[in-house]
Amino acid sequence: MTDSTDNGGSGGLTHFDATGAAVMVDVSAKDVTERVAIAEARVRMAPETLAVVRRGDARKGDVIGIARLAGIMGAKRTADLIPLCHPLPLQSVTVDIEPDDALPGLTIRATARVTARTGVEMEALTAASVASLTVYDMLKAIDRGMTIEAVRLIEKRGGRSGHWTAPSLIPEP
């Protein structure tokens, strides 16, 4: 018998048993609570490419709208993409995509919500990642030099480990 119980955020690896074999964490003893995760990604592109997005002139269509939909669809398929990730009955997924002249590019922020025994960090990260990949796919004909950057968890709430917020990527003055 293998022990795959969650360690409640104590820092140990939870997806391996005592022999080192990969296992799905047993979350049956955890409380069902509301859980929220927010993830972010950035797609850096040439200023001319960002102008195409702003004007809505991309040959493949509405870049922001389609990327938003792809991110939501990706979050719903997370357990199919990430081994050992629990399938979750998502209650809400939102994907906000904002043009950012300072990058230049797009900042993507995905929020996932669930009431369950395990968190939704992977769903939020998957949503931000898939939305970013969709932006790249839709614009690669005009800008193959785009980069997908800073895919990261921004915040998580709920569950045994409570509330966590990532430090800013922008250094304090």
Q: Which residues are annotated as a binding site for substrate?
A: 84-86, 122-123
Dist. CA 173–CA 18, nearest whole Å:
46
Dig out the tokens for 22 from the structure: 């990969």
**For the packed helices 47-55 and 121-139, what is the interaxial angle rounded to 10 degrees?**
100
Contacts of 19 (CB under 8 A, 6+ apart): 2
Dig out the tokens for 99 from the structure: 């043009």
What is the per-residue burial (b if ≥16 Cβ within 10 Å, else e) of 9-23?
eeeeebebeeeeeee
Q: Phi, psi at residue 36, to the nearest 5°?
A: -135, 140
Cβ 84 vs Cβ 22: under 8 Å: yes
Active site residues: 137
